[in-house]
Amino acid sequence: MTEYKTLLLSKADRVAILTINRPEKLNTITVEMWQELEQAAKEIEAMDDLGAVVINASGDHFTAGIDLGVLNEFNSEFVMKNLSWAQSVYSKWEELSVPVIAAMQGVCYGSGIELALACDIRIAAKDVRISIPEVRFGLSPDMGGTTRLPRLVGPGQAKRLIIGCEEIDAEEAKNIGLVEIVVERDQLMERAMNLARNIADQPPVAVRMAKKGINLATESSLMAGLYFEQAQSIYCCGTQDQKEAIQAFFEKRKPVFSGR
């Protein structure tokens, strides 16, 4: 696997683990990290027998967001040339064929929570603190915050967090639907890996179709979503894995899937 300067990448069975690795800088995000996130997404997508991905962070904090030292060097021209690309780096995790789980602890601010929003499932340690403070610095979230957050928590909560710059803890994040699971800090990776392995144990084609269907439903009409359900069902019914899942159920054994 590629050696990265700001990330660590490994694979455990069918689960890829991508770790943000700038703990001495609160895992703040730089242009170099965006470049490496893009490369890592390509490397993960190319992995054989991949079932799920976990994104976590080393040290005490998930990420304090963009490195303000770097942000101070940005100007309108730089943003105009690079923002579309930077947004696409986060979108890659949403578009990845397999589910992506974010495992968050400590501080999760700004661009860091926007990265988590691009993941499929968010698990938070009880000590997590979430804030989207861009407005405080004369900006508005531009890495999916004003787009993905309202879809998860509704426009009112999104406005409270973004315009009010309010910080919330793990329990409140769960109550409003920003995270799906809250655990003790020392159980964070265990819970994330257990869920990732459970997903990876399911029939691969069905998992990928289900992710695509849910993503489609959040940004299209009811009719378009139902049409996709029809198409994926026609494809899935009669696959080797679908037959194996049913046969294994009746034979009371663990199924062996081939991805076909």
Beta strand 7-12 pairing with 15-20: antiparallel
Active site residue 94: no
The catalytic position among 94, 134, 166, 244 is: 134
Active site residue 219: no
* Torsion angle of the four alpha carbons 150, 131, 103, 120, in this order, in degrees rounded to the nearest 10: 10
Residues 6+ apart with CB under 8 A from 71: 137
With vertex at residue 126, the alpha carbon angle to CA 121 and CA 131, rounded to the nearest 5 degrees, is 70
Which residue pairs from 75-81 have beta carbons closer than 8 angstroms and sit at least 24 positions apart in sequence?
A: 79/142
User: What gap in Å lies between CA 124 and CA 130, rounded to an integer?
Assistant: 10
The catalytic position among 24, 114, 184, 219 is: 114
CA torsion through residues 113, 119, 125, 126, sign: positive
Catalytically active residues are: 114, 134
